[in-house]
Amino acid sequence: MFGTGLSWTSVLVAMGLRLGVSVEEQITRSYTIHNNCSSSVRLYIDGEFDSMLAADASMTKILGLNSGFFYTDADGESSAGAATGAIFYGDHINNHYYIFKDVNHVESGISVELNKPAVDGFCQPAICDNELCSSAFSQPPTRFTATLPGDTLVYTCPYHNLAYKITFCPSGTFPSSAPSWTTLHPNFNHHKCMDVRGAVYENGTPVQIYDCNGTGAQKWVLKKGSTKVRLAGTNYCLDAGSAPASGVGMKIWQCYDKLPAQQWDYTLFKTLKLEKTDQCLDLPDGNPTNGNQLQTWECAKGNTNQMWTE
């Protein structure tokens, strides 16, 4: 699904070729860029520096269908193509857009609004204003399959005469620093860690117990109380599936807001309880052998198989 080592510009070119969009095609789109940040930002379009955009300033660009790739490095540290940005592509019938986030350089956050009404899942606004947002890709996609509105993080608006409004700092401020990550250990055993099997960051990869090794597959972002349990530096979360029950194996899945399978309560007793259920994250049989896949199991007070310490 995802490629690595690709610049955003090369991704756009590749997608344009796959979609059969002619470089001679003269259809254009209007893009109004607004800086809602507290200070000036550097505007990049199609990977090239365009201009400085003052605080509360706007400008409008008229560009071709596949000439819409906008981001800011804000503080000047991400001119190579990191940071969070919006990408636009399409043909004379459909217009597609999505947000890409570099979880280490969200910089300003971004939103996309349209001059057409949102109906039946089409023409929806898109926003990502912090590194935890679940409405953006965390790696640049290199291909897409046909899906219904809402099935992916790609948005579609099938209108002519379409105009976009792109806003940096949609919340009015620069995002706060990314939360720190932690490792999770079964019952204070600091030699063993909760781990993504094989460091394969894909939907459905099992979550297991493994020797602590300091790799990214064992770094998690969570907080006390109601929380997602997100794999640091990715948009994948600990997921209990659509039918929570004792014995269901744990996996990672793309993070979504308000998805019951990903909403946990990290309690004062060091348990991770799936909200609105009686199920807790559980080490099967308390067995710390490498590769033992974690599961949910009925919560029981004092069950050390369900205790997870940082």
The CATH number of the domain where 146 resides is what? Answer: 2.60.110.10
CA 15 to each of CA 6, 90, 159, 166, 262: distance values in angstroms, whole numbers, following the listed order: 12, 9, 20, 21, 32
Q: pLDDT by residue (tens digit) across 240-271?
A: 999 999 999 999 999 988 899 999 999 988 99
d(CA 108, CA 293): 38
Q: pLDDT by residue (tens digit) across 12-39?
A: 434 443 344 443 345 788 999 999 987 8
Cβ neighbourhood burial of 29 (10 Å; 0-12, 13-18, 19+): buried
CA 308 to each of CA 187, 188, 193: distance values in angstroms, whole numbers, following the listed order: 6, 7, 9
Q: What is the pTM of this model?
A: 0.51
E-only strand ranges, 130-224:
155-157, 163-168, 185-186, 192-196, 207-211, 220-221
Torsion-angle region of 187 (φ positive above 0: left; ψ -120 to 50: alpha; else: beta)? left
Q: Is the pLDDT of residue 170 over 60?
A: yes
Residue 251 located in a structural domain: yes
Same domain? For 210 and 162 the reply is no
Residue 219 located in a structural domain: yes
User: Residue 209 belongs to a domain with what CATH number?
Assistant: 2.80.10.50
Among residues 140, 168, 196, which one ends one of the domains? 168
Q: pLDDT by residue (tens digit) across 118-143?
A: 988 899 999 988 776 778 877 655 55
Residue range of the domain that includes 155 = 8-168
Same domain? For 305 and 278 the reply is yes
Same domain? For 237 and 124 the reply is no
Whether 168 contacts 108, CB under 8 Å: yes
Same domain? For 24 and 162 the reply is yes
Same domain? For 164 and 189 the reply is no
Same domain? For 157 and 268 the reply is no
Residue 178 located in a structural domain: no
Query: In this predicted structure, what is the pLDDT of residue 262?
Result: 95
Whether 280 contacts 296, CB under 8 Å: yes
Residue 174 located in a structural domain: no
Residue 1 located in a structural domain: no
Same domain? For 141 and 213 the reply is no
The count of structural domains within the chain is 2
Residue 173 located in a structural domain: no
Same domain? For 152 and 192 the reply is no
Whether 146 contacts 153, CB under 8 Å: no
Among residues 143, 168, 193, which one ends one of the domains? 168
Greater model confidence, 98 or 9: 98
Same domain? For 155 and 74 the reply is yes
Residue 289 located in a structural domain: yes
Same domain? For 112 and 249 the reply is no
Same domain? For 160 and 51 the reply is yes
Residue 270 located in a structural domain: yes
Same domain? For 221 and 270 the reply is yes
Q: pLDDT by residue (tens digit) across 277-297?
A: 999 999 999 999 999 999 999
